[in-house]
A and B are shown apart, each in its own frame.
Chain A
Amino acid sequence: MVPFAGWEMPVQYTGVIPEHLAVRADAGAFDVSHMGQLHVEGPMAHEFLQAMLSNDLDRLSDGEAQYTLLTNERGGIVDDLIVYRMSHGHYLLVVNAGNREAAYGWLKEREARGTEVRDASDEYALVAVQGPRSLERLGLDDAPAFTHAMGEVDGVEVMVCRTGYTGEKGVELMCAEDDAVALWDAVLARGVSPAGLGARDTLRLEVCYPLHGNDITQDTDAIAAGLAWTCALDTDFTGADVLRRIKEEGPQRRLAAFVMEERAIPRPEMPIEGGGEVTSGTQSPSLDVGIGMGYVPAARAAPDTELVIDVRGKPRRARVVKKPIYRKES
C-alpha cells in the first residue's frame, strides 16, 4: 500500500506484471474510488462548462460522455477529465484525485449565475473493470464507448460508464460509497482479478494515455501534448486563443512516445539528449521492453527518430514510435 493523494492505495495485489497481463487477456478490477466527482448543475451549466472545458460539449447528448481538458489562460492543463452528460442542466465531471481540489476550486471561483458546482467525491466509489472479457464477466451487454446508463451488478445499483484508462474494452462502475465493498466483492466473485495502481500505470502508458502531473501539467499545453483532438478551437474556452496561436505556429516541443532500443528502463525526469525530458517510463509488460513518453523538440518528435536517454548517466538509445505504443493484435 502507498499513500496517494490522501488515499491508501494498493500498488499491486499479486504483482504488476500478472495483473497487467490479466487485463490485456481477460479482465481486471481497479478500485479508483480516489477519483473525484463534481456535479455541475443549473440552467446555465451547459454554457458554463462549454466555456471552461476544451472539448465541444454541444456534441454530447444525454447518456454520453467525453474526454476533455480543464484549461487555464495560458493554455495549460488544470486537469484532464471525463464529463458525463446527465441532462442539459446536469453534468458529472470525474477528475483526478490529485487535482480534485484544484479543479473544484477553479470551477467554483468562476461559477456563473445559474450554475452550481458541487464536490460529491466522498459520496461515490468507482470500480473500473477492464479487459476483453470484462462485459462477459459482469454479465453486461455491449454498448458504445463513451456512453453511460444506470444498471446493476448483483443487486448493487451502479452507473455503468463505458470508459477506462487501459486501452481495453471495459466499464467504470460508480456506486454509492456505502455499496463500495459489496460492489468490489461482487466484481471479484465474478472472476475478475484485482489490479493495483502499478498495473494501471503500465496499461495506460502502453496506449499513451497521459498522466496529469507527469505528461501534462498546468504548464504544458494540449497541442504539444498531442491532445489537439480534445480542443474545439472554434469555441471560446479558457486559453483557446493561446492554443489557436500554438496550433498555427506549431509547438516548440512535442510529447513523443518511444521504445528503448537497448536494455534499459526510462523513468520520469531522465534527460533526453538534445533537449527534452522523460515524463513517463516503465518496462512494458506486454512488449517486454522499456517504453516511455517525453517532451522533445518538435523536429525530433517524428516516428523513427533516434533518441538518446540519459539513464542515470548512461546513454541509452530509444526510437520514437507512433502512438499508441501497444496495439492489440486483431
Chain B
Amino acid sequence: VATESYPDDLRYHPEHDWARIDGDEAVLGITWYAQDSLGELVLFDAPEVGATIAKDASYAEVESVKAVSDVVAPLSGEVLEVNQKAIDEPETVNEDPYGEGWLVRIRLADPGETDQLMDAGAYRAHIAEL
C-alpha cells in the first residue's frame, strides 16, 4: 500500500480527485486520501471511451468491500482512454494512486477550468480541515 503523498505536479479537486494536465489533455485519478478512506478497492466502474464528463459531476464509481463512492470529475472533457489495469486489478489504485492506478485520460473541454483547481499545498490544507 502506498504511503501518503500529494505530488506537486498535480492539480486537485476538493472531492479528492487529481488531474495531471498535459496541454489540452489530462489524466485523472483519486488521491491518496480518497483511496485510504475507502479501503481496498475491489471495483472500478469506468465510463465508456467517448463519454463526456462534466466538472464537479460523478463520472465513475469505485467500490471497496464495504462502500461505494462516486468519482467526481475535476475537469470537463471527453474520455479518450480508460485504465484497463484499474478495472482488472482495482487494488492498483490503492498501491499507486498517482501512477499505475490512474483512472481515465480526457481531452479538456475548457482548459480554463484548470485555474479553479487547487495545488498540492492548498489540497493538503483542505484535507487537514476534514
Contact = CB atoms under 8 A, between A and B. Distances in A.
Nearest to A267: B68
A141 to B, nearest CB: 34
B2 to A, nearest CB: 14
Contacts of B68: 265, 267, 312
A325 to B, nearest CB: 15
B83 to A, nearest CB: 15
A22 to B, nearest CB: 14
Interface residues of A, number: 17
Contacts of A288: 42
Nearest to A199: B65
B66 to A, nearest CB: 6
A285 B43 contact: no
Interface string A305-324: 00000001000000000000
A15 B42 CA distance: 12
A12 B68 CA distance: 17
The contact size tier of chain B is: 10 to 19
B40 A15 contact: yes
A312 B63 CA distance: 13
Interface string B109-128: 00000000000000000000
Contacts of B56: none
A279 interface: no
Contact of A265 (B39, B40, B63, B87): B63
B66 A11 contact: yes
Most A Cβ at <10 Å: residue of B39, B63, B64, B66: B66
A263 B43 contact: yes
A17 interface: yes
A202 B63 CA distance: 15
A283 B45 contact: no
A16 B43 contact: no
Interface string B73-106: 0000000000000010000000000000000000
A312 B45 CA distance: 12
A198 interface: yes
Contact of B65 (A198, A263, A264): A198
A198 B38 CA distance: 13
A264 B43 contact: yes
A282 interface: yes
B39 A283 contact: no
Interface in A149-204: 198, 202
A12 B38 CA distance: 12
A265 B43 contact: yes
A283 B43 CA distance: 9
A263 B39 contact: no
B98 to A, nearest CB: 20
Interface string A267-298: 10000000000000011010010100000000
A15 B39 contact: yes
23 contacts: A16-B39, A16-B40, A16-B64, A17-B40, A17-B42, A17-B65, A198-B65, A198-B66, A263-B43, A263-B87, A264-B45, A265-B42, A265-B43, A265-B63, A282-B66, A283-B42, A283-B43, A283-B63, A283-B65, A285-B65, A288-B42, A312-B61, A312-B68
Interface of B: 39-40, 42-43, 45, 61, 63-66, 68, 87
The 10 closest A-B CB pairs, nearest first, are A283-B42, A16-B65, A17-B40, A15-B40, A265-B63, A283-B65, A198-B66, A265-B43, A282-B65, A198-B65
Given A265-B68, A283-B42, A283-B63, 5 more contacts: A15-B40, A16-B65, A198-B66, A265-B42, A283-B65
